[in-house]
Chains A and B, each alone.
Chain A
Amino acid sequence: MPNLSTKWLKKSPWIYHVGTGGCNNCDIEILDCLTPRFDVERFGIKLVVSPRHADVLLVSGPVSYHIKSRLQEVYRQVPKPCVVACLGACACSMGIFKDAYSVAGPVDKVIKEIDPNAIFVYVPGCPPKPETMIMGLVKALQKI
């Protein structure tokens, strides 16, 4: 972890969303967070389109063998300091895909292969509610 200030990161976490073989259910719940009912822009949270702009890597889905190297590449492209948020039961612990032949492992294991000091947030649920996601992110940002 480079020695950079994380003071302002709490105020404006920009999120880049990576799908790693999930069933698209969590992805739909993420979009719910942007609607008038939840409106995450109140907290300065913004969806960005390039990993270079991101502070939070929002990963949904068990990591399949096919996508493993891509996920690691995306993590390397994100400027540090950054947080990896594992969204949903699959990303946290592989969920119902545990011991499946095509799955490389949960997100934290895959990321720790290239950066042992990475910061993780776990938001369980299938899919997690938008409130749960917001709360998980707030808790994570308090810790760093």
Chain B
Amino acid sequence: MDNLFLYVIAFLIFPGFLFTSSFGLIVSWIDRKVSALIQWRVGPPFFQPFYDLLKLWHKELIIPATAKKNGFILAPLLGISSVTLLATILGIINLNPEYQFIGDIIVILYLMIIPPLSIVWGGFTSGNPFGALGASREIKLMMGYELPFILAIVTVFFKVGSISLGEIIQYQHVHGVMLNLPSMIVAFIVSILCLQAKLAQVPFDISEAECEIMEGPFIEYSGPLLAVYKLMQSMLQVVFPWFLISIFWGGTSFQGWGILWAVLKYIFIITLVILIKNTNPRIRIDQAVKFFWGWVTLVALIAMILMFMGY
């Protein structure tokens, strides 16, 4: 019973919903502020993402007549609950690497696919041609980036000889972080590129292109449901880099200087993402799929070959 209570606390408060969402909103402020500074503007005030969410929460919720009502409402909720679960699992294993179950990383990889799927579901159920177009683009993009991403992660599996996140983190405590190896640096670059697509940031924001298909899957969403989607996206900005840190960069410890070091690692990754976002134009969907199945997969295979050669 005590354990159950702790799980509920973990899900709702610390590594789960409250922590991830508030941290994610702060990160989305950093994102907007840095983009504004790069464009020589002043940018929004600190609490702007919170204001946006509160405003959306108090707006009217319109469900279009052409939409499938149940799916339209359930899709964003499914997405946000899966992200919360993902953050909880990642957080608990990072806090205590002894705590694990067989194949937890497989569960994490599946949970990471659910938020894009919820966007797809919402887009198709909204009954809008632009929504359906955006959803189909999202599916193609997912097909594109999942292959090199899984290859890069599998490289770590073979190196450690385990498919459990706790053992991967413990291995790095003993043998040094993965990024000391050249093969792992290559795999890390591949996963940063896939991260850009998973977060739907600019070179790969094809599914919600504002100027051509008007935010795609989100076009019919208004008020609270749009707020849920926005919150989900800012939580993803926390969870996905955190996963990469756990796999490649020795995880995060919450003791002493470990907190500062964890934040610095996170800021490094998110700054890379923001810089790539601000210096690249959007590419077409066929270019994106060719890019991921061509060059990126090739580089991921090179990383795997390097790893088997012992580098």
Q: Which residues of A contact B (CB under 8 A)?
A: 2, 4-9, 11-12, 36, 39, 41-42, 44, 48-50, 52-53, 55, 77, 79-81
Contacts and interface: CB of A to CB of B under 8 A. Distances in A.
Interface range on chain B: under 10, 10 to 19, 20 to 34, or 35 or more? 20 to 34
Contact of B215 (A5, A7, A12, A50): A50
Contacts of B61: 79
Best-buried of B32, B43, B51 by chain A (most CB within 10 Å): B51
A48 B61 CA distance: 17
Given A41-B32, A41-B41, A49-B215, A79 B60 contact: yes
B36 A39 contact: yes
Contact of B48 (A12, A36, A49, A52): A12
Nearest to A51: B222
Interface of B: 32, 36, 39-45, 47-48, 51-52, 54-55, 57-62, 210-211, 214-215, 218-223, 226
Given A4-B59, A8-B51, A79 B41 contact: no
Contacts of A6: 58
B55 A8 contact: yes
A77 B220 CA distance: 9
A42 B218 contact: no
A53 B62 CA distance: 11
A55 B55 contact: yes
18 contacts: A2-B60, A4-B59, A8-B51, A8-B54, A36-B41, A39-B41, A39-B42, A41-B44, A44-B48, A44-B51, A48-B215, A49-B211, A49-B219, A50-B214, A79-B59, A79-B60, A79-B62, A79-B222
B62 A11 contact: no
Nearest to B40: A36
A77 B40 CA distance: 35
B270 to A, nearest CB: 20
Contacts of A49: 210-211, 214-215, 219
B52 A44 contact: yes
A52 B222 contact: yes
Contact of B42 (A2, A42, A77): A42
B215 A41 contact: no
A4 B58 CA distance: 6
A5 B214 CA distance: 27
Q: Give 9 nearest A-B pairs by CB, closest first.
A: A11-B51, A8-B55, A79-B60, A52-B222, A8-B54, A49-B214, A5-B58, A39-B41, A79-B222
Given A12-B51, A36-B40, 10 more contacts: A5-B58, A11-B54, A12-B48, A36-B41, A42-B42, A44-B48, A49-B211, A50-B220, A53-B221, A81-B60
B170 to A, nearest CB: 45
